[in-house]
């Protein structure tokens, strides 16, 4: 593949080139991997020189809360303002089902026809580590292609939220109107990651309940420890209606206010720097674990484990031998 040509076309904002490059980063083939790394290296300089910086927004919420309805309405609002919007998805369940949350073509139909929008379904794969790398690289590619806003959607289960929060500038949690007792259903750790809670479905019969739920969450947020990366009043809870497209402009105003504040105070760049470090360390760890799964290393592990079990070697001595002789 002509990496230089692909680079030029991505920088020119060509969607087909972008789609092709994302396919490249999603590939598990070793030669594709080498090309993907070469491409991202080639893009780094020009992206910095051109000052391209997208606002990366993570969005999480349980199935049925209205994520795709929200992203479509919100995305259309942004493209109507002349912004270019990319939507990526991280779906941990796709590893099992082979499907994906954005795989269904009928989702976000209007947005997918929008010339200023780019929607990429979640790839199916087996390991969260692999998903993380591919998603991060896809985000970088969208940024290089000149997208202003990148929305990364994930379902509210397990580790995927932490992972998405570690690759975003802002993290949103979409919630449904609930009875008072149900608030506890949202794990504290997830609340602590969120910058803005959006209580969706604040329309029709659910409106009053949504307003009450929002007040309850706002109260819960006030009890959290203040984070240095937040101005006064954040994290914050707001009501929206994705269906009636109500409150979306207010939500966007809050997001941009928060992002602007973080840019001015250095927290925006600081967070990206911390994330880069985090992912570097994570990839080294993943790489080491992958080496452990190699045939030779696996055999050595098994043989040493037997000797430890038999009492011929101490666990420490065996571990040392493994690290020094088989993984160095
Ligand atoms: P997702 O699984 O989180 O992507 O949720 P969907 O966007 O598919 O929405 C799930 C259901 O909630 C659908 O029937 C939507 O029509 C409905 N829904 C989404 N947003 C709203 C909203 O703002 N108000 C109301 N009343 N229903 C909504």
Q: What is the pLDDT of residues 239-293, one digit of tens each?
A: 999 999 999 999 999 999 999 999 999 999 999 999 999 999 998 998 888 888 8
In 3-state terms the chain splits into helix, strand, coil percentages (rounded to 5) of 60, 10, 30
- For the residues 36-49, what does the mean pLDDT come to? 95
Nearest-CA residue for ligand 1 atom 27 is: 201
Write down the pLDDT at residue 129.
62
Of 63, 66, 104, best ligand 1 pocket probe by most atoms within 8 Å of the beta carbon: 66
Pocket of ligand 1 (CB under 6 A): 61, 63-69, 200-201, 203-204, 206, 241-243
Residue 12 vs residue 192, higher pLDDT: 12
* 110 shares its domain with 208: yes
* 127 shares its domain with 162: yes
Write down the pLDDT at residue 99.
45
Phi, psi at 152, each rounded to 5°: -115, 115
Among 60-69, 88-97, 246-255, top mean pLDDT goes to 246-255
* 79 shares its domain with 172: yes
Residue 280 counted as domain residue: no
Tell me the pLDDT band of 157, cut-offs 50, 70 and 90: low
Residue 273 counted as domain residue: no
Closest alpha carbon to 221 in 60, 230, 57: 230
Write down the pLDDT at residue 71.
96
Q: Provide the 8-state DSSP code for 322.
A: I
* 44-48, 118-122, 133-137, 141-145: least confident range: 118-122
Residue 284 counted as domain residue: no
* 214 shares its domain with 143: yes
Write down the pLDDT at residue 144.
97
- Report the DSSP beta bridge partners of residue 196: 172, 236
End-to-end CA distance of the chain: 34
Nearest-CA residue for ligand 1 atom 17 is: 66
* 199 shares its domain with 71: yes
* 17 shares its domain with 110: no
- Report the DSSP beta bridge partners of residue 117: 85
- For residue 225, give both structure tokens: 């420890």
Residue 211 clears pLDDT 60, i.e. is over it: yes
* 46 shares its domain with 57: no
Residue 281 counted as domain residue: no
CB 108 within 8 A of CB 87: yes
Task: Give the 3-state secondary structure of residue 12.
Answer: coil
Nearest-CA residue for ligand 1 atom 12 is: 66
* 59 shares its domain with 122: yes
Query: Can you give the residue range of the structural domain that contains 141?
Result: 52-264
Task: Please identify, among 264, 279, 311, the residue that sits at the C-terminal boundary of a domain.
Answer: 264
Task: Give the 3-state secondary structure of residue 150.
Answer: strand
Residue 271 counted as domain residue: no
In the sheet that holds 149-155, the strands lie side by side as 117-120, 85-90, 149-155, 55-61, 170-175, 196-199, 236-239
- For the residues 135-146, what does the mean pLDDT come to? 95
Instruction: Please give the distance, rounded to the nearest whole angstrom, from the Cα atom of residue 221 to the centre of ligand 1.
Output: 24
> Which atom of ligand 1 lies nearest, measured to the CA of 69?
7
Residue 276 counted as domain residue: no
Tell me the pLDDT band of 137, cut-offs 50, 70 and 90: very high
> Which atom of ligand 1 lies nearest, measured to the CA of 174?
3
Task: Give the 3-state secondary structure of residue 55.
Answer: strand
Nearest-CA residue for ligand 1 atom 18 is: 66
For the chain, percent of residues with pLDDT exceeding 90: 67
Residue 286 counted as domain residue: no
CB 140 within 8 A of CB 45: no
Provide the CATH number for the domain around residue 30: 1.20.5.170
* 233 shares its domain with 133: yes
* 62 shares its domain with 175: yes
CB 22 within 8 A of CB 150: no
Task: Please identify, among 50, 65, 90, the residue that sits at the C-terminal boundary of a domain.
Answer: 50
Question: Which residue matches tokens 């391209």?
Answer: 52
* 235 shares its domain with 128: yes
Residue 234 clears pLDDT 80, i.e. is over it: yes
Residue 185 clears pLDDT 90, i.e. is over it: no
Residue 91 vs residue 76, higher pLDDT: 76
Number of Cβ within 10 Å of residue 205's Cβ equals: 8
> How many domains are there within the chain?
3
* 211 shares its domain with 230: yes
């Amino acid at each position: 593949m002509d990496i230089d040509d692909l680079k030029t076309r991505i920088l020119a904002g060509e969607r087909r080139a972008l789609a092709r490059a994302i396919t490249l980063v999603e590939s598990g083939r070793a030669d594709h991997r080498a090309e993907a790394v070469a491409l991202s290296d080639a893009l780094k300089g020009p992206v910095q020189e051109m000052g391209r910086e997208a606002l990366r927004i993570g969005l999480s919420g349980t199935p049925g809360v209205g994520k795709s309805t929200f992203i479509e309405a919100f995305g259309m609002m942004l493209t109507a303002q002349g912004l270019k919007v990319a939507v990526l998805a991280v779906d941990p369940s796709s590893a099992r089902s082979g499907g994906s949350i954005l795989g269904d073509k009928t989702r976000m139909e209007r947005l997918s026809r929008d010339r200023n929008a780019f929607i990429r379904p979640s790839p199916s794969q087996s390991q969260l580590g692999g998903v993380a790398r591919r998603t991060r690289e896809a985000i970088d590619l969208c940024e290089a292609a000149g997208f202003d806003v990148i929305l990364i959607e994930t379902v509210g289960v397990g580790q995927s939220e932490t992972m998405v929060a570690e690759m975003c500038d802002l993290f949103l949690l979409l919630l449904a109107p609930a009875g008072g007792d149900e608030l506890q259903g949202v794990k504290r750790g997830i609340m602590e990651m969120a910058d803005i809670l959006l209580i969706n479905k604040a329309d029709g019969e659910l409106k009053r309940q949504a307003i009450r739920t929002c007040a309850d969450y706002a109260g819960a947020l006030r009890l959290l420890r203040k984070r240095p990366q937040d101005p006064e009043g954040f994290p914050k809870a707001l009501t929206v209606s994705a269906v009636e497209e109500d409150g979306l402009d207010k939500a966007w105003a809050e997001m941009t206010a928060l992002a602007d504040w973080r840019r001015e105070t250095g927290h925006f760049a600081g967070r990206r720097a911390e994330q880069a470090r985090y992912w570097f360390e994570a990839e080294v760890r993943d790489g080491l674990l992958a080496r452990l799964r190699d045939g030779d290393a696996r055999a050595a592990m098994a043989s040493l484990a037997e000797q430890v079990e038999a009492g011929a070697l101490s666990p420490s001595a065996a571990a040392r031998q493994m690290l020094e002789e088989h993984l160095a």
